[in-house]
Amino acid sequence: MSEQPWTVRRVLGWTSQHFEKLGLDSPRLTAELLLAHVLRTSRVRLYTDLDRPLEATELAAYRALIARRAAGEPTQYLTGIREFYGRPFAVDPRVLIPRPETELLVEAVLQSLPGRDCRILDLCTGTGCVGITLALERPGSSVVVTDSSPAAAEVARTNAASLGAAERVDVRVGDLFAPVEQEPPFDVVVSNPPYVPSGEIPTLSAEVRREPAAALDGGEDGLAVVRRIVAGASRWLVPGGLLALEIGDRQGPAVRSLLEAAGYGSVRIERDLARHDRLALGTHARGPADTAVRRTELGPDPR
C-alpha cells in the first residue's frame, strides 16, 4: 500500500480518472464538487490547497461519495445543492434536479413581465426554482407555486425561506390549478411539467432515473400534463396574460398546435442553445366573458 499521502491534488486526479473510466459526465467537475462538499469549501479554494493532505475522516467521507456516484446517484443529490440562476437551491430525491435549460424559461417570463406589480402562478414547481427566482428577480411580484407532491412542496418551502422569498412565494399542494380555485386571474402561468414520453423513461441515464418518476413521465406522448395545462390555463390568466411552458426537444410542433387550437395568440416555440425545441409561449387574448362563452360551448371543465 502506498505511503504517499492523499492530498487534494492526488485525490482529485485519481477520482477524475476513475469517473472517466466509468463513463460519467464531467468527471473532473464531479470530483471537485464532491470534494468541496466534503471539505466544506469552494472549488476555487481546492486549487489554493492542492498539497493539503486529507484527514482520515475526510478521506472516508469522500470515498463513500465516490462509491455512491459510481452507483448512479446524481451529484446534486450527494451534495444537496444545485445552483440555479446564480442561487443555491436545496435538492434531494424528492424533487427533480433543476436544469440549465430551465433558466431559459425564467428569462422568457422575465422579459414578458410588465413594469407594474404582477401575479405569477408556477405549476409543477418541484424545488420552486422557477417561481422563487421570478419572485426574487421581480420583487414587486407575488407568486403562487403548486405541486401535487407534498414532499416536493416541502422542499420548495425550504428554498423559499432560505433564499429570502418566503413572504412573496405561497407554496400550495395540489394537482395543477386545484390549489388556486378561488384565486383571481394571474398575469403569468408558467410550468416545467413532466414531458418525457413513458416509453423513453427506461432509456434515460441511470442518474436521471433516480429522479422522481412523477416529475418526468408525461404519458404516452409526453404531453399528457401539457394538454391539461393548456386546456385549463386560460381560466386563470388575465387578457393578454402569458402561458410559458418548458417542453421536450421534439415537441414544438405538437405544442404549437395545442396552443393555437386553444385560442392563444402570439404563439412561439423557442429553442435552447443546442437548437432543440425547449419553450412554448402564448398569450391569452380573450376577456372573461368570451372565456365563459367558450367554456359553455365546450362543455364541462376538461380538468
Task: Read off the pLDDT of residues 97-149 as tens digits, 9 standing for 90 and up.
Answer: 999 999 999 999 999 886 667 999 999 999 999 999 999 999 889 999 999 99
Same domain as 127, residue 29: no
Same domain as 203, residue 101: yes
Q: Per the domain annotation, does 282 fall within a domain?
A: yes
Alpha-carbon gap, residue 22 to 202, rounded angstroms: 20
Q: How many CA atoms lie within 13 A of 72 on its CB side?
A: 8
Same domain as 261, residue 206: yes
Q: What is the pTM of this model?
A: 0.87
Q: Per the domain annotation, does 85 fall within a domain?
A: no
CA dihedral 103, 161, 78, 128 (to 10 degrees): -40
CATH number of the CATH domain containing 122: 3.40.50.150
Return the closest-CA partner of residue 176 out of 196, 152, 147: 147
The low-confidence residues of the chain, meaning pLDDT below 70, are 1-2, 114-116, 286-303
Same domain as 167, residue 34: no
Alpha-carbon gap, residue 59 to 67, rounded angstroms: 12
Burial label for 53, CB within 10 Å (0-12, 13-18, 19+), is middle
Domain hosting residue 139, numbered range: 90-298
Q: What per-residue confidence (pLDDT) applies to 115?
A: 65
- How many domains, the chain? 2
Tell me the backbone φ, ψ of residue 144, rounded to 5 degrees.
Answer: -110, 130
Q: Per the domain annotation, does 77 fall within a domain?
A: no
- Strands 81-84, 142-147: pairing kind: unpaired
